[in-house]
Amino acid sequence: MTDMSRQTGATPTWYGRIAASQSMLVLPALVLCTLFIFIPAFLTIVGSFYAFGLTSERWTPVGLANYVKAGNDPIFWVALKNNLIIVFGSIVMQVGIGTVLAAILDRGIGFGQVFFRVVIFMPMVISAVAVALIWLIILDPNIGILNALVKSLGLSPPTRGWLGDPSISIWMVLIVAGWQYTGFMMVLILAGLQAIPKDLYEAAALDGARGMRAFWSITLPNLRNVLLVAVLITTIGGFKVFDLIFVLTGGGPANATQVLGTYIYLQAFTLTNMGYANAIAVVLLAIAVLLGWLQLKASRQS
C-alpha cells in the first residue's frame, strides 16, 4: 500500500473503482465519436480507392486513380482556390474588423457596451441556412433592398444580380459570411483585450506611450496568441464552409463560388461519383486535421 493510500485510508481497489467510473463517463462520448466520426472517416478513406455509384452494390478497385483525377480536374482546383479566397478574405474581414470592434468596445466607448455586444454578436446565433435565406432576399435583383439602395444613390446594380455575376459572387459570399461571424471574432478578441492588465497601460502612459504606440507595444504582443487562435478558427471555417454557399449560389454561377464542400456534394449526390467524392473528402479531411492540430497547439501555448 502506498504512503498516500495509508494517509487517506484508500486501497488500490478503491482507486481501481474510481478509474473504472471515470472510464464509464468517457464511454458514451467515445461510442458516439466512433459511430459518427471514426468509422465514417475510415470508410471514406477506404472508399476513395474504389469507383462506385450512390446505389451500386459493386465497388471496383481503382487504386490512386481518384486522386490522380482530382489532380487533373480543373474544377477541383477552382474549388480549392475559392476556399483559399474565402479563408484569406475571412481573416481580413472577420478577424480584422472583429479586432477593431473589440478595441472600440474595450476602450473607445463608455456606455451601451452590453447592447452593442449583443447586437453585433446576434447574427452568430442564427443558423447559416437562415442567414443565407435572409441575404437571398436582400440581394434579390427584383425585390432586394441592396438594389433599391444602389439605385437611390444614382448607381447601376449588376445586370446579372449580385450572386449571378461570376466576377463578384464570391465577394458577396464573403460579405455574408463576415456579417455572420465577425461578432464571434469580436467577442473572442474582446476577452483577450480585457485579460491584459491595465497596469501595463498606466505604466506605459507614464513613459509617454499612448494610443497607437501603446497598441503596438502592449496590446498586440499580449493579444498574439488570441489572434492566432482566431485566425486558425477562421481558416478551419473557411475550408469547411458548405451550407452558406449551398443555399446562396449552389456553387455557381459557372463554378465561381464552388468550394470543396459543395463540389463533394455535387460529385456524390448529383453525379453519383461516390469514389471520386470520397477522394476529395479525404483531401478536405487532411486539411482539417492539420488545421485542427495547429489550433490545438496554439490553444495550449495561449
Confidence band (pLDDT; 50, 70, 90) for 289? confident
Question: To the nearest 10°, the Cα dihedral for 178, 182, 185, 186?
Answer: 160
Task: Please compute the mean of the pLDDT values over residues 3-31 and round it to a whole number.
Answer: 66
- Is residue 262's pLDDT more than 50? yes
**Does residue 37 sit in the same domain as residue 85?**
no
Confidence band (pLDDT; 50, 70, 90) for 29? confident
**Does residue 188 sit in the same domain as residue 40?**
no
Backbone φ and ψ for 33, nearest 5 degrees, come out as -65, -40
**Does residue 19 sit in the same domain as residue 71?**
no
Residue 200 included in any domain: yes
Verify cis geometry, omega within 30 degrees of 0, for the bond prior to 253: yes
Task: Please compute the mean of the pLDDT values over residues 251-260 and round it to a whole number.
Answer: 93
- Is residue 14's pLDDT more than 70? no
Instruction: Tell me if 233 sits within 8 A of 225, measured CB to CB.
Output: no
**Does residue 99 sit in the same domain as residue 39?**
no
| Domain containing residue 33 | 3-47
**Does residue 140 sit in the same domain as residue 175?**
yes
CA 269/CA 53 separation, integer angstroms: 9
**Does residue 38 sit in the same domain as residue 105?**
no
**Does residue 187 sit in the same domain as residue 99?**
yes
Query: In 36-143, where do the E strands start and end?
Result: 50-51, 60-61
> pLDDT value at position 280?
96
pLDDT digits (tens, 9 = 90+) for 178-230: 999 999 999 999 988 888 888 887 777 777 777 777 778 788 888 888 888 89
Grid cell, residue 38, equals 471514426
Count the Cβ atoms, other than its own, within 10 Å of residue 153: 6
**What are the residues whose beta carbons fall under 8 Å from the beta carbon of 110, sequence distance 6 or more?**
none
Location of C-alpha cell 467577442: 187
Residue 56 included in any domain: no
**Does residue 94 sit in the same domain as residue 157?**
yes
Distances (CA, A) of 11 to 8, 16, 180, 197, 284: 9, 9, 55, 46, 49
Confidence band (pLDDT; 50, 70, 90) for 84? very high
Number of structural domains the chain divides into: 2
Q: Using only C-alpha atoms, what is the Rg of the chain?
A: 25
**Does residue 119 sit in the same domain as residue 184?**
yes
